[in-house]
Amino acid sequence: MSTYRTYWTPEGHIEMWGATDGTLSLYPGSIASDQITIARPTDMTPEQMLAVADRVLAGVQRWRDTVAEHVERERTTADELAEARAEIERLRAEQGGA
């Protein structure tokens, strides 16, 4: 097994090729950049391909949920910090700017 890492860019996109062959292509960068393709082997039944698609979807959903949780934690932390700074400024103002 080999592992290859590529980085998604804002130009990245996804293409799908027909329901019968079930090919999914991911282009992390521009169309001329790296490509990741998931294709159905000729001996795989449509039902088996659906099971593969369900596993891929579940994995991507877990990844997305983890990213969303991180974004929400960062947003909450930033909001709490902004509120704390505002409260400090309010208290300073009450004390005459000391």
How high is the pLDDT of residue 54? 94
Q: Which tens digits make up the pLDDT trace of 4-48?
A: 788 888 888 888 887 667 788 888 987 777 888 888 888 999 899
Could you tell me the pTM of the whole model? 0.68
Q: Which long-range contacts (CB under 8 A, 24 or more apart) does 36-40 make?
A: 36/6
Q: Which tens digits make up the pLDDT trace of 45-68?
A: 989 988 998 999 999 999 999 999
Question: HSE (CB half, 13 Å, CA atoms) of 28?
Answer: 9
Provide the terminal-to-terminal Cα distance of the chain, rounded to the nearest Å. Answer: 65
Segment holding 3, helix H or strand E: none
Cα dist from 95 to 3, 17, 28, 90, whole Å: 61, 67, 54, 9
Structural domain spans, the chain: 1-39, 42-98
